[in-house]
Copies of this chain bind each other. A is one copy, B any other.
């Protein structure tokens, strides 16, 4: 029955796939944009196209940036010999918001999962091992989520890295059981980082 133009329906369908939006809220968002076509909609489309074109995964750590090597890996002041291993880029951003960590990162992209056929290669764990051997890394901080999958993956990485003799630690005090990094406040992340304990 709808007389909505095809192009607008297509846009609503795409918006509805965003996390936090469903078909109805996507429709509301699109109507909001349609009422502000020049002031909001066109700039948003432009910003999104720019990011879609320019964004790329850092070849060293997996962070998202606009160059082959992300600003953190490119910053010599952050060559502290510490690598913080996180599941997702969202977790890296959460760590950076806290501002307590001055070393570099390694973004796994998820956790080990037999069910979803996610093995060590999919999580760039061999890359991590190579970095530890090549970069003169003194400590690897496993900042994985305090979930069963996160801790299983952390144990696996600790086993893989054991042969290298590198110091391995995990975030400790302050991470609530079952909680996820991206939802923590900055103070809690800082406290957990300072109180990290050796595996």
A interface, CB within 8 angstroms of B: 1-5, 7-8, 10-11, 14-15, 17-21, 25, 27-34, 37-38, 40-55, 63-66, 70-72, 88-90, 93, 96-99, 182
Extra inter-chain contacts (10) besides given A33-B51, A42-B49, CB under 8 Å? A3-B96, A5-B65, A7-B50, A11-B44, A11-B48, A19-B29, A33-B48, A34-B64, A41-B52, A46-B49
Q: Are A99 and B1 in contact (CB under 8 A)?
A: yes
Q: How many copies does the complex hold?
A: 2
Given contacts A42-B49, A48-B11, A51-B41, is CB(A71)–CB(B3) below 8 Å? yes
Q: Are B40 and A5 in contact (CB under 8 A)?
A: no
Residues of B within 8 A of A97 (CB): 1-2
